[in-house]
Amino acid sequence: MTKNNKNIVIEPYNPQWSWIYEGEARSIQKALGEHCLAIHHFGSTSVSGLSAKPKIDILVVTKDFSSIDTAALKRLGFEYRGEVIPSGRYFTKKEPKVHLHLFEEGNPLIERNLLFRDWLRNHEEDRKAYAKLKQELANKHTDGMEYCRAKTEFIEKIILKSLKGFDDGRL
């Protein structure tokens, strides 16, 4: 585990992360009902073997934001954080630490997030390179947003590789 003075913590992969996701996903699906069109575990904790900040990222696809019962999410412990992601809604929960990202269906960020996750799940060399980069950045940056921005170039390269793989009939 690596920790700097601003608490950017990178931990070795923990299989409990997928169990936490499963429990949270069931609760979210129940709370949102038919308005939850799809739900996905994404981000580093969704990739077996990948070191990560110990937070579960969950992506929910909905037809329309106006149909979301935010009070139901609040009862689950989620706090609305606003539109901090382009064309999406963002909620956080402190215990267990969960970041909930809501997107309306058709938003291209849904596919981009899932392409990145799936690529890392299936390409060990890139998974190791990403883990190394995250460790270096966690040691270098004291601000979480700086840390996230510093990963952008790597993430974009992986998404491009993934898209080319689909175009070539691979994957």
* pLDDT for 3: 44
Average pLDDT over the chain, rounded to an integer: 91
* pLDDT for 171: 40
Return the domain boundaries, the chain. 16-167
Q: Are strands 56-62 and 98-104 parallel, antiparallel or unpaired?
A: parallel
- Residue type for 129, please? A
Q: What is the mean pLDDT of each run of 10 residues along the chain (171 residues)?
A: 63 97 98 97 97 96 92 95 78 93 94 96 97 95 90 96 69 40
Q: Which of 87, 127, 82 is nearest to 109 (CA)?
A: 87
Q: Whole-model pTM above 0.75?
A: yes
| Cβ–Cβ under 8 Å, residues 158 and 122 | no
* pLDDT for 11: 96
| Cβ–Cβ under 8 Å, residues 32 and 71 | no
Count other C-beta atoms under 10 Å from residue 165's C-beta.
16
Fold classification of 16-167 is Beta Polymerase; domain 2 (3.30.460)
pLDDT tens-digit readout, 44-77: 999 999 999 999 999 999 999 888 999 999 999 9
**DSSP-assigned states of every residue in 85-126:** STTEEEEEETTTTEEEEEEETT-HHHHHHHHHHHHHHH-HHH
